[in-house]
């Protein structure tokens, strides 16, 4: 496999400037459902216009291009170090071209690296497999929505939430209520029930790699997703917290085994600018197929 920096650059540019079809359709449907002349409709009208202009001009959907998460499935004999180096070169180039904002800051000195590279930036999640296919998914996660993500340890006496599905439901809805419009609503939730503090948050973020119209294979979790969508959209928070019918665009829930002593519910909040894209590469490192 030959790693092509230009391929990675195109993946970054597209992810930053274009929403996948499933997300754009969901936003457009929500726009039609809000009352004309309402603040909620005005917010969604502005969002839809923003989506159109970003796509036409090839410019970022949001001024906060977010943290960079790369999920790669590589053949077992692929050179992973070369892959990482090529992708980092593409990130530096994308930052220089304006597809990404200079967004990586040292937490102690406050110094910006200027190229989005540094400890933990980008975040690579690599899986090796016996096949010969290479798939790469990219998630750009804005800071505003990351700030309203949440994790709960059950039981929670304040929510009257116990270690069961009803307890998880209460936690997820509490996260939505506390977020209000601060996460650039309407939002999308990635949720993990179970795991530990680290794996729960990681797996909740991975749920955002699913399509919004992709049914959950677990019947219990599918029913919980439907319940959360119904209840959250009856809260009246609405787009940007202006009120209305559309507080959430999606809820994607997964589960991990836990140890008996712990029961975590981890909620990753994604803003409407749901920048997620993926590609399948050919043996020359060029894009053979877009995944979303």
Q: Where in the chain is the domain with CATH 3.30.360?
A: 5-15+61-142+275-290
In this predicted model, what pLDDT tens digit does every residue of 195-243 receive, in sequence order?
999 999 999 999 999 999 999 999 999 999 999 999 999 999 999 999 9
Class of CATH domain 5-15+61-142+275-290: alpha beta
> Order of strands across the sheet with 264-270?
150-153, 264-270, 187-194, 248-256
Q: Which residues lie closer than 8 Å to 65 by C-beta, 6 or more apart?
A: 16, 99, 100, 101, 103, 140, 142, 275
Determine how β-strand 275-281 pairs with β-strand 287-290.
antiparallel
Band (113; pLDDT cuts 50, 70, 90): very high
Mean pLDDT of the region 129-149: 96
Per-residue confidence (pLDDT) for residue 244, from 0 to 100: 97
Give phi and psi for 162, each to the nearest 5.
-110, 180
The three-state secondary structure class of 209 is: helix
pTM recorded for the entire structure:
0.95
How far apart are alpha carbons 69 and 57 in whole angstroms? 24
How far apart are alpha carbons 238 and 181 in whole angstroms? 7
Mean pLDDT of the region 137-152: 97
How far apart are alpha carbons 246 and 42 in whole angstroms? 12
């Amino acid at each position: 496999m030959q790693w092509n920096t230009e391929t990675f650059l195109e993946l970054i540019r597209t992810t930053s400037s274009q929403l996948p079809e499933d997300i754009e359709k969901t936003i457009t449907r929500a726009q039609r459902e809000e009352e004309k002349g309402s603040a909620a409709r005005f917010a969604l009208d502005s969002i839809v216009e923003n989506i159109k202009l970003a796509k036409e001009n090839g410019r970022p959907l949001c001024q906060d291009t977010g943290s960079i998460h790369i999920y790669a499935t590589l053949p077992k004999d692929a050179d992973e170090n070369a892959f990482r180096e090529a992708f980092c070169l593409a990130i530096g180039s994308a930052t220089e071209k304006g597809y990404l904002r200079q967004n990586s800051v040292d937490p102690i000195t406050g110094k910006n690296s200027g190229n989005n590279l540094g400890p933990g930036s980008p975040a690579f999640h690599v899986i090796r497999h016996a096949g010969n296919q290479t798939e790469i998914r990219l998630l750009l996660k804005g800071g505003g929505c990351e700030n309203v993500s949440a994790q709960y340890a059950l039981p929670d006496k304040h929510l009257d939430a116990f270690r069961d599905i009803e307890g998880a439901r209460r936690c997820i809805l509490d996260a939505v209520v506390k977020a209000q419009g601060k996460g650039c609503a309407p939002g999308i939730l990635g949720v993990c029930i179970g795991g530990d503090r680290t794996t729960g948050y990681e797996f909740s973020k991975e749920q955002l790699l699913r399509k919004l119209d992709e049914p959950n294979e677990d019947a219990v979790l599918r029913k919980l997703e439907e319940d959360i969508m119904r209840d959250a959209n009856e809260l009246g928070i609405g787009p940007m917290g202006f009120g209305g019918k559309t507080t959430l665009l999606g809820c994607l829930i997964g589960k991990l085994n836990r140890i008996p002593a712990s029961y975590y519910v981890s909620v990753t909040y994604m803003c409407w600018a749901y920048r997620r894209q993926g590609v399948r590469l050919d043996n020359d490192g060029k894009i053979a197929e877009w995944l979303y």
